[in-house]
Structure formats: C-alpha cells, structure tokens
Structure 1
Amino acid sequence: MIFEFCLTIFLVGLTIKATKRPHNFPPGPRGLPLLGYLPFLSSWDPQYPHKAMKKISEVYGPVVGMYFGPSKPIISVCGHEAVKEALHNEDLDGRPYIPAALGRTFGEHLGLMFVMGQFWQEQRRFAMRHLRDLGFGKTSIEDQMTDELGDLIKDIENESELDPERIVDLKGIFQVSVINILWAIIAGERFQRNDPKFQELLRANEMMFRAGNPVRGNIPIPAFVLKHFRFAREFIGIKSELIKPFQKFVQVTIDDHQQQNPCEGEARDFIDVYLKEMNKQKDENPSTNFTNKQLISMITELFGAGAESTSSSIGFAIIHLIRDQQAQQKMQIELDQVCGQFFPTLNHRSSLPYTEAVLMEAQRCSTIAPFAVPHSAVKDTHIQGYTIPKGSVVLLNLDAVLQDSKYWKDPEVFRPERHLNEDGTKVIKSDHFYPFGLGRRMCLGDSLAKNTYFLFTAALIKKFRFEPVENEPLPSLNPKIGFTLGYQGFKAVVTPRS
C-alpha cells in the first residue's frame, strides 16, 4: 500500500514537472513525463525536423518552447526578427551538451564548433588569424582553386566522352576538389582524385553527416547509456567506427609534420603554425589548451564541414540549373559576355550579377544547414520578450527565414531575379538572406566557401551544358537528411560548349 502510494506521488510529480513551465516561458506543445515532446515531433513532418519546427511555429509563434526529456528546454526559433535577435544575443553564444559532437572529439569538449567560453575565444581567434594568413577568404588561394577546377573539368570531360549519350554521374564528384583546396591550407598538400584511401575517407565523412539529424543530436541521453547501448549511439548519430580512421589519418599527417621539425623555418600550413604554438605554449604553460587532440579535432571539423557544405551547394546549384534550362542559358550568356573565352575569376564577380543571383537563389531554395549549430543560453535571457532559461538548447531555423512567404514571394519557386534590381544590373543584398548565420558564432569558413562555390559553379556552367537525361525523372531537389542536408546523387547529359 505504501509502495503504491509513493509510486503514485512520484508519477504525479513527474506529470506536474512535465506540464509546469517557468514564468514567461515561450508557448509551445506539451509532452509526456520523462520523454517530453520528442515522440510527437515527427507527426508534423516525418522526414525533415526543420520543416516540423516551422509548422509548429505556424501554430505557436516564431519562438516556441518545449521539452525533450524531463527537464531539457528546447527553444525553436523560426521568424527572421527572432532568429536575427537570437544570433546577436551573446547570452546565447553557448553550446549545449551534444553527445554526437563529443563522439567526434575524443569524448571531450574540443574543436571549434561545439566549445564555448575562453577556450572557444582563444582557439577561434588563433584559427581565424592564421587561416586567413594562409588563404582563407583571400584571392591568394585562387590559383589553387583554378588548378583543382581544371582537374575536375578534365574528369567530367573524360566521362562525358566515354559515354555515347554524354551521360555523367555527378554523385560526390565535387568533394575531392573542394577538400583539396582546404587540405592545401591545413596540411600543405593535395590528394590524388583516384586515391582509394582518400575516397574511403570521403565516404566515411558522408556517412557521418548522414548518420543523424540536428534535433536527435540534442537528446539528453546519459553518457553511461551511450557507452553501453549501441542503439542509443546510432539513434543520435554517433559513428565511432567512421571517425577513428579519419583521426588516425590526421595523426599520421601531424606526425609527418613533426618529423620535419616545424620549429625551424617558415610555417607552410596550418598544422605547422599550430605545432609551433603548441610547443611554445607547453614551455610557458603546461596546462595549455593547445594540444594534439585539439588540433585533430579542429582539422576533423574543418575537413568534415568543408567537404559537405560547399560540395553540396555546388551540387544543388547544378540541379536547379538542369531543371531550369532558361536560367542556365541566361547565366551562360552573361558569363560569355563578361569573361570571353576565359573562365570567371573572383575579379569578374561584381560584373556578373545574374550569376551571383543564381548562386544566391540556389542557396535560398536548398539550404545546406537548415539549423544553425545549436546554441545554448549561458544565463537566463530573452528572445522576443520571452524568458529563455539558462541551459536551454536554442535551435535557430535558418531555412524558415529563407523560405518565409511573408518576405519571399512564392518561396518554393527558383527565381534568381528576386535578388536583382529592376533592370537586372545589380544584386540586391537582403537582410533576410544569411545562409551562413550571423553574429560571433557565424561560420568560420564562410569566405572560403563563398569563393569556392562561385568559382566552381560559374566555371562549370561556362564550360558545359547540363541537361536532363532523356526518359528519366529530373534530378531531385529533395535533400538527404543528416546533421546537414546533402543533394542526392544524379546523372546529367553533359556537353562541352564551343
């Protein structure tokens, strides 16, 4: 009798806790004791969490509060004003406990994306300064991009010539070139396109990004459960068997640099720069944050995000232009008029408004990162007048901003002209367009990504005509779900232009 009474009191307490919310907490759907609202999220959209969150916001407003688990506040932010306010609120610059992220950084809070406080500021400041010196976002890396682009064009030409119908499989074809640009900055070398070990690393990277999604990754599963139950790790997207070979590969690269004694002579790449700083810090501060594990974690994040985001942006842009032959032709006419017989360069960019508008529209329609990397409230704060409790996970829905019908007319329609003035001679910069985020937590590699995206897509469209394969469905714009969104593999008829 006493046991039944205590159990009843316990269950009642859980129910009250699950339904009781802090004062001025954002409106949102209620959940179940222990589980919160997580079991019901897929009822709004079974495949894409960012679309589910957007549909919930249409019922409750741009700032929605709910719980995953018994005490994990999740704040979904969808409206432009609310998202922009949150991105500029330094009280939300924290990072939540994300088991899937820790699985890629030795179980420790390392790297750049998922750390915070003084550690984050110190490491980000160092990385930004030296990566920029080495070519991040600078035209000095353009020669490297041009070389990689030349190899990519040769591969596409060869595959097109080998097929009587000129059909080329474009699945994953852009990743090698994009990574080689990044790897030249990080490690001072490049991969051969047909290197089987490198291809295996790219496949592992793709599988890691497709393993989970940004909502499941925030489920507060205790560490001991993750350690002992494989299904729990797989549910939130931890793939240790995929990340360990890459970590080992990076370690071998670091060992090679150390054997060449980076303390002597001028640093050639980011690994050299970091090793110099690490050796210096060890002499002055034995508890330094500049460690071998931190270097591996930073490289892992840069490699993974760089390979995935930029190559997917190029892939989606090509798909949009295959589906809209008129836009492709208009882009080619502009490229021919401005660049003549040469490939476009970064100096041509300001003279190619329609090309720029096409690239912007492809990013708007096909968001690679529908959510910004999850934020966390480092103390009680506010969004749009609502109280956000300390420790809340804040999911900022960038896709909802880019697809907002209140601002973008017919947002589902691919229309590059929406980014141009009336006579089509100038690009209109909208404050509703920020696919890389805003604020202090903005994407570290946005300048390099923008330049690579522009040079590669523009050159490919100038060099080739991309057309649908006859008697087959058009390439799909439905993205592959994961921690980011990727384009599905597709084939096209690719014909060199005279």
Structure 2
Amino acid sequence: MSDLLTTVRASCREALVTVKDVSHRAPGSPTTQALLVGALVGFLAYKATQKRYRLPPGPFALPLLGNVLSMADAKEAFYVKLRRWAKEKYGPVITVYLGPILCVFLNDADVATEALVKKGEDFAGRPFLHSMDVFTEGSKSIAFADYSPAWKLQRKIAMQALRHYMSGKYLEKVVHQVMDMVSDKMAAEPGAFDPHLYNSSLMFHIIAIICFGEVKAYDDPELNGIREIFDKFSSEIGNGFFEDVFPPLRYWPTKKYTRFMGYLQGFLDYLYKNIDQHRASFSPDNIQDLTDSILLAQSEAAREESAEVMAMLTDQHVGQTISDMFQAGVDTSRRTLDCVLLYIAGHPDIQKRAQEEIDSVTGSRMPGTGDRHKLPFTQAVLYETLRLGVVVPTALPHKTLCDTTVGGYDIPKDTMVFVNQWAILHDPKTWDQPEEFRPERFLDDQGNLKKIDCWTPFSAGRRACLGETVAKPELLLILACLLKRFTISLPEGAVYDPEYNVAAGLTIHAPKPYKVVVHKR
C-alpha cells in the first residue's frame, strides 16, 4: 500500500521546513540532536559502504538528505526520471539515497528477472518502515512482513481462502449483485460525471461482502466512511513521511503523520469490529465468507503446525491478513478501473470491438466468470490497461537477505531494492510505441491471448502480488459487465488526455481527473 519512495515529493519540502526550523532551535534540543546524529550516521555509513562494495552508479548524494532534493520535481514523476537516468547516464541499476538510506532501483526486465526470479530468495525480504510497521501492527501483514516460515504459512492460509471466496460462481454472484446497484446509480447521472466515486463504491461493496458478508446499501455511512479513510490514506501516503527517512523524528511527529495514525485507527476499529463479530459466531460447519475461512484455516493450522510457528500467527496476524485482502481488493482495483474507463472512452473503436465480442459470447445474459477464456480481446484491453496504467509503478520495496549481486554490481545485505515496473512496462525494446493504448499487442495471429514475459504489473518471484490470480478474473468480469450495460464516452468537446497525474504521488500512477457520459445499451 505504500513504500519509502512515497516520501520524496512532500517530504523534501517538509525536510527543508524541518531543517530550517531546527536551525532556529537551541543546539542541544532533542530534535537537533536527532538530525545531527542521523546526518553523521548516514554519512559514515555512506562512506563505509562505498569503500567496501562496488555499488551501482547513481547521482551524488548529499549528507543527511541524500538524493531527496533531486527527486522532488513537480513536472516529472520519479519513476519516469529513473528511466531517463537509466537510459542517458547510469544504466539499468541505479543507487539512490533516501536520506541516509541506501536504495537500489532496477529499471529493466533483465535485471528485475535476475533479482526476483533467478536470485529470488536473496531479494525476498521487506525493509523496516516505521509508518508501515505501525500500520501493520508490528509488520504482521503478508505484504510487509519479512521473509520467514511464519510468513509462508500466513500466505498459504490467505491463498486457500482467496481461491474459495474470490473465484468461480461466488465471485460472479457478488459482482452481479453489486453491479446492479452501482450501475443503476451511474445510469441515473443526468450528464458527465467523474467515475472514480462509482469505481470506488463498486470495489468497496464487493470486498465488504467477500470479507465480512456485509450487504450494504449504496450510501451506507460506515462503508462510505471507510472509503473516505482510504482516500485520505492515498493522499497522505502518496506524499510520504519524513519519519520514515529519519526514524528518530517519530518521537516528534509531524501533523501529517499524526493525521495518518488517526485514519489508521479508524480503519482498524472497523476491521476488528467485524473480526470480533465473526469470532463470536464462528462455527467450522458454517463458513460464510473470507473471514470465516481464514479463522477456520487458523484453527486447522493450530492442530498441524509447530507451537513455535503458531506463536507467530497471533490474532493480529489474522487481522492483518484480512486487512491485506481488504486493501488488495480495493485500492489498486478501483484505480485500474479509473484507467480503463478513460482508455475505452478515448478509443471508441476499441470499446465497440470489445462489446461485439462480449455480445457474441453472452447473448442476452450478463457475462460470467466462465466466459473468461472466450473473451480474448476484452482480456487484452484489461492487460493493456494494467501495462499502460500500472497503478503502483515501483511496487513494494524488497530487502536483500544477504550480500548479493545484480547487473554485475554488489548489493549489500539489508539494502532496500525497488523494481521500476513503470519503466519495464514502457520499455520500447519490448513494447512497440509503448505510450499508445494498443490491446492487440497481447493477441497472436489467431486472435488468442498470448503471454509476454515482461508483462509484470503484479511483480514476480517470491513476493509477487498475492491477489494476482483473483484480480485478473474479477476486473475482467467487472469490465465485461460495464461494457454489456453501457457505452462510455467522453463529454462533447472534451479532449482525450491519457497523461498521468504527477500530483497523485511519487508511487501512484493515476490519470488526471476526467469525466465520462454513459448511455444504456
């Protein structure tokens, strides 16, 4: 849901404000001491690491701030700048310092495959980020936990629950149920509207049913409140936390960090209220939703696994597993829908071809999960959206578990490593005219969907996104249902603008705000 790169844009401004403020304080004040110690430790670590290892090249790093200032650019997203640096100066493996923290960025498919697949265990860790440690109640989530036997078991439990509750006829039933409600609201719009609210409502209602069995009214205040919390999460995380660059400053938190923790508590209250209700009524003979399924898996694991492992799978681990499922089922999915509606509205010929395919397969009925492999062009539309509009362009950060190498360079143990998915998915060596929306690039000469190895919007290797096997059929079904019901177009006189919104955050790739008009078919 976040990574350290998100610190850069607002944090560099905040860093300058903080440093300026510190300069006016007494030399012996705690904040001044923390900054000076952080600067000294970072500088010494930087020098020691440079002498011991043959690190990848990168821009000159300032003491204390590292490369934060060079990353702050209101006109160019950092993942775009990384690709430019890789092409023009440094090559595909680049060293960057976030404050005193050594980071390595991988900017093409070859080095990413070397790290995540060929040397997967070397790069399978997760770095410690204070904000995410708090957010995940001590790094107890699947997404942010370090690589360990407990993590493997936790992921196994989650996969079992996902396969049952987010696939097949159950998923189809839930999507159809929510689509009926949300599409009626969309159809009632008198003119052009921003689809983001409807995409968000769609995904929140689907995941609330799957996770908690909650069938809510469209305007349910509790679920709308959680949606608003997630919107605030995106705003605050997208701009980053200075506390993650200089952890001692968490003892003197910024207002932004304090606000974030308030939002976090609101979400955790909602999460554990529902989990506690499920625990109180839990029956292994009456499993009704994903939370029940995870509680069942936990109880079964307690009988099969060692006491040492089960001691690491506490109720908080269960809560964070459900939190992972809830977040994965909402945030990237709703932003992917934002992208795909813009792309098909701006390409009516592509939209018409997908509708013709859907109609030829489904006739008068709505699309179902069983139609997936009969809709290759519609799948290609989704795959091209996930490529061109990759939502999390640098993915979650990895951590090296040992001294290793990539691209011919040394990577020390405990180094934070990012994969620039945006650069890989926009590499002209792989993708002809990569800035164009061209779904047919995913089809072979017979019109069948083909595999492209460099298509990795869900990352790869041991830390690949847990929800990939669920997200693709779910998003395809939603897209097919939308195109079955509506023709989606831009307002009269509007200009199609596929450019990303730099202000959305350094690690969120999102379109600029736009409006559409829908017409019932």
Instruction: Report the TM-score, using the length of structure 1 for normalisation.
Output: 0.87
Q: What is the Cα deviation at residue 270 of structure 1?
A: 3.1
Deviation per residue, 1:213-239 (Å, 9 max, x gap)? 4986895322x41132215737xxx71
- 1:477 to partner: Cα distance: 4.1
Q: Does 1:494 align with 2:515?
A: no
Structure 2: which amino acid aligns with 1:373?
Answer: L
3-state DSSP class of the match of 1:256?
helix
Amino acid at match of 1:189: E
% identity of equivalent residues: 26
2:62 to 8, 15, 32: 32
Displacement of 1:18? 7.9
Residue aligning to 1:426 = 448
Q: What is the Cα deviation at residue 139 of structure 1?
A: 4.4
Cross-structure match for 1:319: 342
Deviation at 1:256, TM superposition (A): 1.5
Structure 2 CA distance for partners of 1:390 and 1:19, relative to 1, 3 Å: closer
Residue 215 of structure 2 aligns with which residue?
190
The one-letter amino acid paired with 1:433 is W
> Which of 93, 99, 106 is equivalent to 2:130?
99
Distance 1:273 1:109, change over 3 A: same
- Hey, what does 1:212 align to over in structure 2? 237
User: What residue in structure 2 maps to residue 52 of structure 1?
Assistant: 81
- CA positional deviation for 1:429: 1.4
Unpaired stretches in structure 2, ≥5 consecutive residues? 1-35
2-structure distance, mates of 1:350, 1:399: 27
Partner SS for 2:53: coil
Structure 1 residue runs without a partner (length 5+): 1-6
Distance 1:15 1:202, change over 3 A: closer
Whether 1:122 aligns to 2:142 is: no
Contact 1:75–1:394 (Cα < 8 Å) also in 2: yes
For the residues of structure 1 that align with 2:219 and 2:43, how far apart are their CA atoms?
61
2:249 corresponds to: 225
Shift of 1:67: 2.5
CA gap of 1:344–1:217, structure 2 versus 1, over 3 A, is farther
Corresponding residue number in structure 2 for 1:111: 141
User: 2:359: which partner in 1?
Assistant: 336
Match of 1:265 in 2: 285
Is 1:444 matched up with 2:466? yes
3-state DSSP class of the match of 1:494?
A: strand
Q: Could you tell which deviates more after superposition, 202-211 or 88-97?
A: 202-211
- State the alpha-carbon separation in 2 of the partners of residues 152 and 68 from structure 1: 42
Q: Which residue of 2 aligns with 1:199?
A: 224
1-structure distance, mates of 2:434, 2:243: 29
Amino acid at match of 1:220: V
Q: 2:115 aligns with which of 83, 86, 99?
A: 86
Give the match's secondary structure for 2:410: strand
> Partners of 2:182 and 2:519 in 1: how far apart?
15
- Residue 104 of structure 2 corresponds to which residue in structure 1? 75
Task: Identify which range, 448-457 or 265-274, moves more after superposition.
Answer: 265-274
Give the TM-score, by structure 2 length. 0.83
Is 1:485 aligned to 2:509, yes or no?
yes
Amino acid aligned to 1:465: T
Q: Distance in 2 between matches of 1:413 and 1:288?
A: 51
Q: CA deviation at 1:66?
A: 2.9
Give SS of 1:316's match. helix
Q: Distance in 1 between matches of 2:458 and 2:56?
A: 26
Aligned 8 A contact 1:18 1:36 in 2? no
Shift of 1:91: 0.8
Distance 1:292 1:31, change over 3 A: same
Distance 1:385 1:138, change over 3 A: farther
Q: How does 1:69-468 map to 2 (within 5 A)?
A: 69-70=99-100, 72-88=101-117, 89-106=120-137, 108-116=138-146, 117-132=148-163, 134-159=164-189, 163=190, 166-213=191-238, 219-222=244-247, 224-230=248-254, 233=257, 239-260=260-281, 262-263=282-283, 265-276=285-296, 285=307, 288-422=311-445, 425-468=447-490
- TM-superposition CA deviations, 1:392-444 (whole Å, max 9, x none): 00010111111001111111111122222235x21221111111111121111
Q: Take 1:83 and 1:421, find their aligned partners in 2: how far apart are those partners?
A: 26
Distance 1:15 1:263, change over 3 A: closer
User: Which residue of structure 2 aligns with residue 3 of structure 1?
Assistant: none
Equivalent residues of 1:110, 1:297 under 8 A apart: yes
- Secondary structure of the corresponding residue to residue 246 of structure 2: coil
Q: Is the 8 A contact 2:394 2:507 kept in 1?
A: no
SS state at 1:142 partner? helix
- Aligned-residue offset at 1:367: 0.7
Shift of 1:274: 3.8
SS of the equivalent of 2:332 reads helix
- Whether contact under 8 Å (1:168, 1:494) holds in the other structure is no
CA distance in 2, matches of 1:214, 1:448: 29
Count of residues in correspondence between the two structures? 474
RMSD: 2.9
* Structure 1 residue 383: Cα displacement: 1.1
